[in-house]
Amino acid sequence: GAILSQSDETDACASQMDTQAVRQRLGPWYGAAAYSNHTTRDIMLKAWPKYRLDRKHNEERITRLQHHLSQFAHMRTCAQLISDHEVEERVHYDVVLKLRDNTLAIAPLPIQKVPPRPQTKDCGRFNWKGYQDKVMLVPRRHMDAALRAPSEDFFLAPKMGFTRGPWGSGVRNSEQLLKAVLNQHGVGVEQVAPSALPLVDGRCSGRGDSSGKTYCMVEENKDCRPSSWTLP
């Protein structure tokens, strides 16, 4: 279901670093940032007839689609920040690592070379016949297709929701939507073992002051982790 905030003033997870604290924490690795409130956009469900049919009511399906579109829109914002920073600093990145702000690194991730095509984690049946978008290692030349196109094509390609793929006719979830977009742009993807991208989606938990904030990995049907990881 949708992730909705249920925290109160006694919940450590309710506390957030301000923009200055984020900049100080990242130090020399800070390039640029954007902070925006969650925004929902109007959508036409008839353009996505198969999307999240596992939900009982159309209102739920619309909510999921709106949330996924917002996530893709944030990816586009990140791509724009990267492009702007390249112009400002007169540099050009080789590779982009896309992850969520609540991602847990459970092992070092040395990026020794630029992959020939984007990499995503292979979570088996939990790929949902598409590509996992929680973590992506993307060569710079494919950044527009991987980070900009999902939200742009949502509006510019009106038949996207009817795309046929391994899932049959009609995109059913965000993983399939990402795959449909990348296929349309002619970008192949390498699905690698979770040990190659040991970054896992997390959720904050714990009550008390901010020092009590802890994170737990989400369940494996939401994001997979290396087989060598033995803790819950």
For 93-107, the pLDDT digits (tens) are 999 999 998 899 999
Separation in Å, CA 208 to CA 12, 14, 193? 5, 10, 37
Residues contacting residue 141 through CB under 8 Å, at least 6 positions apart: none
User: Which region among 27-41, 85-99, 105-119 has the lowest average model confidence (pLDDT)?
Assistant: 27-41
The answer, yes or no, to whether residue 220 has pLDDT greater than 60, is: yes
Q: How many CA atoms lie within 13 A of 129 on its CB side?
A: 12
The more confidently predicted of residues 173 and 39 is 173
Report the distance separating Cα 150 and Cα 35, nearest Å. 20
Mean pLDDT of 162-168: 96
pLDDT of residue 36: 83
- The pLDDT, as a whole number, for residue 232 is 59
pLDDT tens-digit series, residues 167-182: 999 999 999 999 999 9
Q: With bands split at pLDDT 50, 70 and 90, how would you rate the model's confidence at 5?
A: very low
Angle at which helices 174-184 and 58-89 pack, to 10 degrees?
50
| Residue 134: predicted pLDDT | 94
Average pLDDT score over residue span 192-214: 82
Task: Check pLDDT > 60 for residue 66.
Answer: yes
Domain boundaries, the chain: 13-217
Average pLDDT over residues 130-136: 96
Question: Considering the chain, what percentage of its residues have pLDDT values greater than 90?
Answer: 76
What's the pLDDT band for 206 if we cut at 50, 70, 90? low
